[in-house]
Amino acid sequence: MMPNRTERPAAPGRGAPGAGAGAGPRRGPGGAPASPSGAPAGGGFGKGGRGRGGTAGAFGKGGAGRGKQRKSKRAKRQELEQMSAPSLGGVSVPRGDGNTIVRLRRGSSITDFADKIEANPAALVTVLFHLGEMATATQSLDEDTFEVLGTELGYKIQVVSPEDEERELLSSFDIDFDAELAAEGDEELEVRPPVVTVMGHVDHGKTRLLDAIRNTKVVEGEHGGITQHIGAYQIQHVHEDSTRAITFIDTPGHEAFTAMRARGAKVTDIAVLVVAADDGVMPQTVEALNHAQAANVPIVVAVNKMDKEGANPDKVKGQLTEYGLVPEEYGGDTMFVHVSALQGVGIDDLLEAVLLTADAALDMRANPNKDARGIAIEANLDRGRGAVATVLVQSGTLNVGDTIVAGTAHGRVRAMFDENGDIVTKAEPSRPVQVLGLSNVPRAGDTFFVTDDERTARQIAEKREAADRNAALAKRRKRISLEDFDQAVAEGKVDTLNLILKGDVSGAVEALEDSLLKIDVGEGVQLRVIHRGVGAITQNDVNLATVDNAIIIGFNVKPAERVADLAEREGVDMRFYSVIYAAIDDIELALKGMLKPEYEEVQLGTAEVREVFRSSKFGNIAGSIVRSGVIRRNTRARVLRDGKVIGDNLSVDSLKRFKDDATEVRTDFECGIGLGSFNDVKEGDTIETFEMREKPRV
């Protein structure tokens, strides 16, 4: 027997919603009366179950109601956090007071920031999205993006400087680099050779002067007589009945190599300023002088080219007096030496002046009885020997078999060579040597030091490399070609020109990067070097350029095997240069929208017309045999008759092998060629196919 329904009838249409005043109590589904909160009392034909404050269903299984459902501790904690944390963009994030400082490493991600402020990375991704930036939780961000995000959340973002980052990294391995560089007691110090840097303007004879000193011919291998690289050499000079060693560092004079001259001034004891007697003080002369004075380094002036007609050393002395270099004969303390590098005149006098200045003004002592520390002067990738680094030992003694870290490179010293290529087993302070055994090529200017074991060295190098990689990955943008860059900027597609720099030595790469970043790119446009390295252009470089729409600049290097084909297939723009001027000029012109591509005609193949077929649909078809190369469909073509061009800039609209369509036909095969609307084809004519290819800039 069916139970009775509720006494009050339901409103028309069971449980009709929206009943207003005077319509009776609200009804649940099936006409059941609703609870005071508006929730249905129970399902009409379903299972009643346990409803909050409800009754059993009319036709289902009944169950005891529960007045209030108990919350778990986790749910209460989450609810409390949501109530205490302000909402931004629909998500709850902890906020700072506006003065809270958060320190982040270069190239940190949203996850790193979230760990610092104990927030959910997904919530910060949402906040960043509402601020107009899209990024993943693990994507490296630049400093500007973090600053915007931090300001919105009430935090002051501080990106750790490379120096502080290096100290924090080394301190995690219980290495105090500053303490290691502190002076030792006098009983531990021994006399070391002076380190001399040769500086000056372009083509004032610095490299030829070094040639005269060490009897080598480096200058013959330079492009345009300009030193493109940096090198260190040690010579032996007889001074007061004893033989003393002097270490020389050669720095390029071209304006692009400012960083290399500054680095040379930092590692040197004495600067030899070379000034041409017939040319006088020039812009790079003043710059080199400023570097030496900023490093508080004594200066010896070599007035070169005294053999040339028009040489005026007094003019040079007068000009340098204006910059604080007063000659000894004028009552000053700067030694001026007249030399002729071409004729080898005055070389001994110059070396004597260097040693006298060193003995009078410097305390040239170091402790050789400890682990070596120093600086990488230059580095390159040798096909047979691998990574080769020229290092200058500043303190301690470097031995074969020591484990060292130099920047992001690490390894055990397998062999060492001097400037003459002879094998050496140890290098004491002020000794430049070439080191073999590093895992990769360090950057010029990277400091190196010996570690206790190879595991520690590898961990330090890997952490440095990860930090550099994160910094390079920050805010990557889209790819573009060099000639189309100005058009893409005008269309709003890109606002950043990404570059990948590869060179034969790290000093040249660094100099090229510094010069490019100094280019005035204009408002709203950025130039960013996303990667730089030493050695041939590899597939990894092309893949990186493909992802980031970058342009590859090769300085004195070429692509490795199959890399050129990969770059052409992916549409990656690669440029190759041997002189730094050309690279800087091309990039500057591209940024200003003035660099236009140069094209050249490349012949693909030739075909001899054997017979002409008439077709009402396709016009005349030239039955031909391919004499050379390959005939491809949809390429440009021209028709020659008796050596004269009778049709030019035509298109191979159709290409057949018998009745089948073909994309290309090779030498000694027959084919049918259709040239579109051009029908003036006769037996004996020659059809040439060609394409216009962009001419590489050299």
User: 556: domain range?
Assistant: 475-591
Domain end residue (candidates: 470, 499, 519): 470
Domain end residue (candidates: 444, 470, 496): 470
Clarify whether residues 211 and 257 are in a common domain: yes
pLDDT of residue 671: 93
Is residue 371 left, alpha or beta, with left meaning phi > 0 and alpha meaning psi from -120 to 50?
beta
Nearest to 158 by CA among 140, 148, 146: 146
For residue 555, being part of any structural domain is answered with yes
pLDDT of residue 142: 79
Clarify whether residues 345 and 419 are in a common domain: no
pLDDT above 80 for 333: yes
For residue 395, being part of any structural domain is answered with yes
Overall domain count for the chain: 5
pLDDT above 60 for 697: no
pLDDT above 70 for 659: yes
Is this structure's pTM higher than 0.85?
Answer: no
Contacts of 676 (CB under 8 A, 6+ apart): 619, 650, 651, 653
For residue 384, being part of any structural domain is answered with yes
Average confidence (pLDDT) over 50-61: 43
Question: pLDDT-based confidence at 608, cuts 50/70/90?
Answer: very high
DSSP state of 329: G
Clarify whether residues 430 and 481 are in a common domain: no
* Tens of pLDDT, residues 346-387: 998 999 999 999 988 888 888 898 889 998 888 888 888 889
For residue 684, being part of any structural domain is answered with yes
Clarify whether residues 206 and 329 are in a common domain: yes
pLDDT above 50 for 134: yes
Clarify whether residues 546 and 486 are in a common domain: yes
Between 311 and 475, whose confidence is greater? 311
Q: Is 40 exposed, middle or buried (0-12, 13-18, 19+ CB in 10 A)?
A: buried
Is the CB of residue 669 less than 8 Å from the CB of residue 662?
no
Clarify whether residues 206 and 287 are in a common domain: yes
For residue 656, being part of any structural domain is answered with yes
Please list the helix, strand and coil fractions of the chain in percent, rounded to the nearest 5, in that order: 30, 30, 40
Which CATH number belongs to the domain containing residue 436 in this structure? 2.40.30.10
Clarify whether residues 231 and 357 are in a common domain: yes
Spatial separation of the C-alpha atoms in residues 295 and 366, rounded to whole Å: 19
Clarify whether residues 255 and 326 are in a common domain: yes
Clarify whether residues 252 and 399 are in a common domain: no
pLDDT of residue 488: 62
Clarify whether residues 432 and 502 are in a common domain: no
Spatial separation of the C-alpha atoms in residues 410 and 395, rounded to whole Å: 19
Token couple for 245:
């060693």
Clarify whether residues 205 and 347 are in a common domain: yes
Clarify whether residues 608 and 528 are in a common domain: no
Between 12 and 406, whose confidence is greater? 406
Least confident of 234-243, 263-272, 661-670: 263-272
* Tens of pLDDT, residues 191-235: 899 999 888 887 888 888 888 887 643 444 444 444 444 468 888
Which CATH number belongs to the domain containing residue 586 in this structure? 3.40.50.10050
Domain end residue (candidates: 365, 390, 409): 365
Question: pLDDT-based confidence at 507, cuts 50/70/90?
Answer: confident
For residue 71, being part of any structural domain is answered with no
DSSP state of 597: -
For residue 21, being part of any structural domain is answered with no
HEC string of 201-264? CCCCCHHHHHHHHHCCCHHHHCECCECCCCEEEEEEEEECCEEEEEEEEECCCCHHHHHHHHHH
Is the CB of residue 415 less than 8 Å from the CB of residue 436?
yes
Average pLDDT value over all residues in the chain: 78
Least confident of 132-136, 274-278, 550-554, 634-638: 132-136
Which CATH number belongs to the domain containing residue 240 in this structure? 3.40.50.300
pLDDT of residue 528: 83
For residue 32, being part of any structural domain is answered with no
